[in-house]
Amino acid sequence: MSAVIHLRRDDRPRSYQLTSEREFDVAINRIVDTELRGVRVDSMRLVVESDQSSIEYPLDFNAADIPARRTPIKPWLDAANLRSRDIVGGSVALFVDVDAGRPAEAWLTELLRD
């Protein structure tokens, strides 16, 4: 399954806005924890839309958060299985790479606006 987290940013002032990357990470993790907990996800995209543009931000995670398992071939070595089909929503904390944001692809922008 693929998932797109689509956030719309209004130009109108709000009483509260995210002011740091850490707050952005917390907001995204709450969305994933609420909407995707326990769901196997092959790919996940974050798109933030405003009146002028749609920016896609890469999501990353710390591989050390994935529980290591002993392998039958090398039982002395802890190993983590990082196949995409094994990643489950809410199992690891996600981090938004704000500096690597780029314009979302046209087909994705059109799909989200419908």
**Alpha carbon distance 114, 111 (integer Å):** 6
pLDDT digits (tens, 9 = 90+) for 71-95: 677 666 655 555 544 566 777 788 8
Q: What is the pLDDT of residue 104?
A: 93
Element (H, E) at 85: none
Integer Cα distance of 71 and 78 in angstroms: 7
Tally of structural domains, the chain: 1
pLDDT at 27: 87
For a pLDDT cut of 70, what percent of the chain falls above it? Answer: 68
Nearest to 6 by CA among 111, 88, 112: 112
> Within a 13 Å sphere around the CA of 58, how many CA atoms are in the beta-carbon half?
6
- Position 82 scores a pLDDT of 53
State which residues of the chain have pLDDT below 50. 15-16, 84-85
> pLDDT at position 103, please?
94
Give the pLDDT confidence score for residue 75 in this predicted structure: 66
H helices present in the chain, as ranges: 21-35, 106-113
User: Looking at residue 113, what is its pLDDT?
Assistant: 80
User: How far apart (Å, rounded) are the C-alpha atoms in residues 95 and 58?
Assistant: 8
| Residue type at position 91 | S
Q: Give the pLDDT of residue 36.
A: 85
Query: Range of 80's domain?
Result: 2-113
